[in-house]
Amino acid sequence: MIPPVLWTDEQISEATQAHCTAPFTVSGVSIDTRSLEPGDLFVALPGSGRDGHDFVDAAFAAGATAALVCRGKIDFMKAAGPLVEVDDVPAALEALAHAARARSGAYITAVTGSVGKTSVKEALRLALSKSGETFASEKSFNNHIGVPLSLARMPQDCAYGVFEVGMNHAGEIDALVRMVRPHCAIITYVGTAHIEHFDSEADIARAKGEIFNDMANDVVEGGTVVIPADNPHIDLLVELAEARGIADIRRFSTNEMAAASEPPDIVTSKIYLHETCSCVSGRIGSAEVTFKVGTPGAHHVSNSLAVLGAVQAAGADLALAALSLAEVEALSGRGRRHMLDVAGGPCVLIDESYNANPASMSAAIKALGLVPRLGQGRRIAVLGDMAELGESSKDLHMDIAGLMDSVDIDLVFSCGPQMAHMFANLPPDRKGIHAPSTDALTNILQAEIRAGDIVMVKGSHASQMNRVVASLLGAKTVRAGQQGEQRDAV
């Protein structure tokens, strides 16, 4: 089947003020020749280590229809396809993003927060797709490159668009939301992520509140925001929204008595947490709903309320959306489960290695405590450093040790200089081994894991705990001297 046309050369030229060396149409937009699809426009982004212009030939060989390049860097007479020549490639990509947003009639939702952004974005993609064609950004494409790239890929005729926006510093979300211009903005939770770059957690809340700065109001005057009622910064978030003229402010919580200036509009009445899912009854505005969330953990229940609040704001089918949440699956690095064969039987590996901050670390540990042991197996937490916590890092890592008193976890293995503080404060009966590196930790785990164990691996991206997961998944043996095959859990 021939993919639909996403952009023509005339549209791209008008949006970017570019010179196109020949007519063309494209069905997609790519910045990476490794994932480029035939028919894509290849955007040759410059870089200090890798310059996209060095890969233009490879892009055409992979099937690119045209390439967006800096004027004069590529000889158009020798190029294997049409060139779109501009003075500034990143600026041209942003211009294409603005044009995509301007031509779209879709209802747009933007998602930010300290935890759960990608999970909420993917669940909302699924929920809205039951009511109409839905486009959402890939993976965690939430920065100054990922957001404009995602917008440039949005089909003109989709009914809904969902975009994730992130930040490490103040001002970054403001720049992104001026491209996205959402009708609805979701903030999942505000915590201490990236506190190293801020004076206080309240300043992080202010930076997240930049998502209110450029809301589209062609559907609801001022737009709609969906925010967590039980967050310590709820009053500040409400103040920031109201300062932007936003009147439709919807608060969500798993606690009807959430400490907030007003009771939550989106709230649960019953929650049953199970090892592989959660069953929920609650109220979304005036609508009573009962549904199942396909991923385990109280944090995913909270996320589901934000999703359903946004679905209702979009005017989509709330009943179909609620039913769809049973289909939600854990993402790679965010709770996906794998089954490993070890001596004597299977064990479970839970991959939470994509990233970590105090809130997400706490949620993952609590979720681990719900997973039933297999036979005589143990619940084991494997923890790497949480990054960008600044002067609070030592105390925040030590707090994780205190959390172990309230969860039923048998052993903790760790690695990294910050997690060493946590490990030193663990109760003696919870201590596994603290390793100096991820490679050393992997070797230890391969010797220690046994049949029936539930092993959860988590840490910030900088701690490279994903290498531990990859090694365990790629190893033919996960225990010295024993043969075993790795298979994915159903």
Q: What is the mean pLDDT of each run of 10 residues along the chain (490 residues)?
A: 92 96 97 96 90 96 97 90 97 98 98 92 98 95 96 98 94 97 96 79 94 91 93 94 95 79 89 91 97 92 97 98 95 89 87 91 91 88 93 93 92 96 94 95 93 94 93 60 27
Annotate 22-58 with DSSP letters as a single string. S--EESEEES-TTT--TTEEEE----SS--GGGGHHH
Rounded to whole angstroms, the Cα distance separating 189 from 223 reads: 20
- Helix, strand, coil percent content, the chain, rounded in steps of 5: 35, 25, 40
Rounded to whole angstroms, the Cα distance separating 488 from 490 reads: 6
Looking at residue 372, its pLDDT comes to 83
Token pair for residue 115? 């935890």
Looking at residue 482, its pLDDT comes to 30
Token pair for residue 346? 């299977």
Token pair for residue 342? 């070890």
Radius of gyration from C-alpha coordinates of the chain: 24
Specify whether the CB–CB gap between 288 and 321 falls below 8 A: no
User: Among candidates 205, 206, 150, 138, which has minimal Cα distance to 182?
Assistant: 150
Specify whether the CB–CB gap between 127 and 321 falls below 8 A: yes
Tally of CA atoms within 13 A in the half-sphere of 137 that contains its CB: 30
The single residue listed with the structure tokens 């706490």 is: 362
Looking at residue 104, its pLDDT comes to 97
Rounded to whole angstroms, the Cα distance separating 122 from 69 reads: 32
Cα angle 361-365-371, degrees, rounded to a multiple of 5:
145
Annotate 224-241 with DSSP letters as a single string. EEEEETTSTTHHHHHHHH
User: Among candidates 321, 324, 354, which has minimal Cα distance to 336?
Assistant: 354
- Would you say the C-alpha torsion 362, 365, 369, 370 has a positive or negative sign? positive
Rounded to whole angstroms, the Cα distance separating 358 from 396 reads: 7
Q: Which domains does the chain have, with CATH numbers?
A: 7-86 (3.40.1390.10), 104-327 (3.40.1190.10), 336-488 (3.90.190.20)
Rounded to whole angstroms, the Cα distance separating 102 from 390 reads: 40
* Sheet arrangement for strand 336-342: 431-435, 411-415, 379-383, 454-458, 345-352, 336-342, 486-488
Q: Helix 393-403 and helix 358-368: axis angle, to 10°?
A: 20
User: Among candidates 387, 403, 456, 360, which has minimal Cα distance to 119?
Assistant: 360
Residue 455: how many other CB atoms lie within 10 Å: 27
